[in-house]
Amino acid sequence: MPSKTVSERRAYWGSMAALGLVLPAAVLAHSWGSLAEWYDRHGREPILVEGGVSPIYAGAAWRLVYLKRLPGPSAKAAVVLAEFEARVGKDTASMAGMCRIRLTDADGRLWAPTFTLEPIARKAYPGIEERPLCGGPAFAEAGPGGKVDMVATFLVPHDAVDLALLIGLAEAEPDTLLLKP
């Protein structure tokens, strides 16, 4: 059996080195969603706010107006309409990014808002589709001292109880705000 040439050995060790770089990158790329979910669940404990109190978070006073459960598309699901507001402080620069909003329940499950407002919510509450998304452009438009009224809808299982709205802004992370009715 002939021995390997120098170029074959270099190719072999070069491929081993490449594998050492590519394999961890592939594992990280494949597990990124799981890591983000883990961070959502195990990041710092959120600042818990109950009963209409308006804490200062990321340069604004936040308030949960209501969480309303509406009929869902099936017997196993419900639509939750969340109305919340932020009264912008003096410095809108601390609120430049978009909000990360989630709905959570007593079991710690998380739901992202629906891409568009659910039709049942638009029908029951006309005019809500004109409200801005939570984030920098809405805060900049309101200006210092202005108030931004926002809504989001969530599709949740019927068994979801003790719901609360979780709000995070990149400028204030790792702190998040948990607003309970």
pLDDT level of residue 53 (50, 70, 90 thresholds): confident
Q: What is the pLDDT of residue 81?
A: 94
Short-list 167, 173, 171, CA closest to 63: 167
pLDDT level of residue 174 (50, 70, 90 thresholds): confident
* Alpha helices for 43-109 (secondary structure H): none
Nearby residues of 92 by Cβ (< 8 Å), 6 or more positions away: 59, 139, 140, 142, 143, 144
Please indicate whether residue 144 or residue 96 has the higher confidence score (pLDDT). 144
- Structure-token pair, residue 89: 């402080």
Short-list 124, 116, 118, 19, CA closest to 73: 118
pLDDT level of residue 33 (50, 70, 90 thresholds): low
**φ/ψ of residue 112, rounded to 5:** -85, 155
Task: Specify the DSSP class assigned to residue 135.
Answer: B
Question: What is the distance of C-alpha 111 from the center of its chain?
Answer: 8
160-170 tens-digit pLDDT = 999 999 999 88
At 138, which amino acid appears? Answer: A
Q: What is the pLDDT of residue 175?
A: 84
Average pLDDT of the residues of the chain: 83
Mean pLDDT, residues 78-99 taken together: 83
pTM, to two decimals: 0.70
Answer for the pair 148, 142: CB distance below 8 angstroms, yes or no.
yes
Nearest-5° Cα angle at 25, 23 to 29: 120
Please indicate whether residue 153 or residue 29 has the higher confidence score (pLDDT). 153
Nearby residues of 65 by Cβ (< 8 Å), 6 or more positions away: 83, 84, 85, 149
Mean pLDDT, residues 86-113 taken together: 85
Mean pLDDT, residues 43-61 taken together: 77
Q: What is the pLDDT of residue 2?
A: 61
| % of the chain beyond a pLDDT of 90 | 33
